[in-house]
Amino acid sequence: MGYLVFKTLRYLHGTELMVLASALPGWICYVVGEHIGVSGVIATVTYGMMLGWHQHEIMSATARRRGVAFWEIMIFVFESLVFIFIGLSLRGVWERIAHADKSLGAYGLEVLLVLAVVIVSRFVWIFMMDGLARLVRKPHGAHGHSPWGESFVKSWAGMRGVVTLAAALAVPAQVPGRDLMLLCAFAVILVTVVVQGTTIGHVIRAFKLKATTHERIYLNEPQVWARIEQAQYSVVNKLAYNEHGALMHPRLLEQYSYRQSLSDKHKHEDSLPDDIRKAHFNVVLAAVAAGREELLKLHRSGQIHDELLHLMERDLDIQEISALHSRG
């Protein structure tokens, strides 16, 4: 399915079509996976991983940005629906449990046992796998792949949500013990999201974890920007001259040369200079705001039409978004 989608996306030119064509196969993968007897969730996740890996080559910048905005809204809607479903389902479950032969204390004990198993089993699994990784990667007792503090944080970060609820709601109504399953699912979501989710920051600070604990050394942001700016400057330096060797784009060459030298200057630092960066992009944002104010003034005085307003406002919006992202 993913292969067919990627081949199709290369021939689509409309942004809306590309976003739609990349989103719909997720539902198709789920339905087909469930129909043929495999996990629809895993099939959908596999497609999503393939799309995330190949989107940089097959989707345009505009389609990619609109796709991100589309999924941010969809995720917000779906997560909101999850809690609405919890509220709607919990009322009926609670009424049936209240009139059941079993006492509320017995239900509470079973819920606590399920919570303990869910939380403890994750700790056992994470610590066991990290311990094996330490033995395999550093058999002679050197510094391990994952310190125990990091293992604890990963274990504590096991929040449950949509998949847990979907699995519980998928159980047919006539199955014995369905209400208990739903109650346990609600309790697991509540405890892991509210309790573990709100305390994860305190746990990280308590263990004083370092920013980098991997064996593999990754490039930091200044180093990556230095590589990017060098690649961009190399291309601009070639294309700035015509076939006779005359410089055709001096300002463009000067701009990219400055950016390349600046990024090269700071590539050995952990992060870009915060004060210089914020001051620079504050000026950019002020300029964008002044431009938008002038644009609206021209439109409201009747000097430009709506189409030109939207076209130029889009460019100003892109400048503002870029500046806000770069400023941090």
DSSP letter for 244, please.
T
Instruction: List pLDDT tens digits, range 249-272.
Output: 999 999 889 888 888 888 888 776
* pTM (2 d.p.): 0.64
Instruction: List pLDDT tens digits, range 37-83.
Output: 888 888 888 888 888 888 888 888 888 888 888 989 998 998 888 88
Task: State whether residue 144 is helix, strand or coil.
Answer: coil
Report whether 188 contacts 160 (CB < 8 A).
Answer: yes
Q: Could you tell me which of 59, 32, 58 has the C-alpha nearest to residue 44?
A: 32
Rounded Cα gap, residues 165 and 243, in angstroms: 65
Burial of 9 (0-12, 13-18, 19+ CB in 10 A): buried
Whether 244 has a pLDDT exceeding 90, the answer reads no
Whether 144 has a pLDDT exceeding 50, the answer reads no
Task: State whether residue 247 is helix, strand or coil.
Answer: strand
Rounded Cα gap, residues 145 and 127, in angstroms: 12
Report whether 29 contacts 1 (CB < 8 A).
Answer: yes
Burial 57-79 (b: 16+ CB within 10 A, else e): ebbeeebbebbeebeeeeeeeee
Query: Residue 114 is inside which H or E element, if any?
Result: helix 104-137
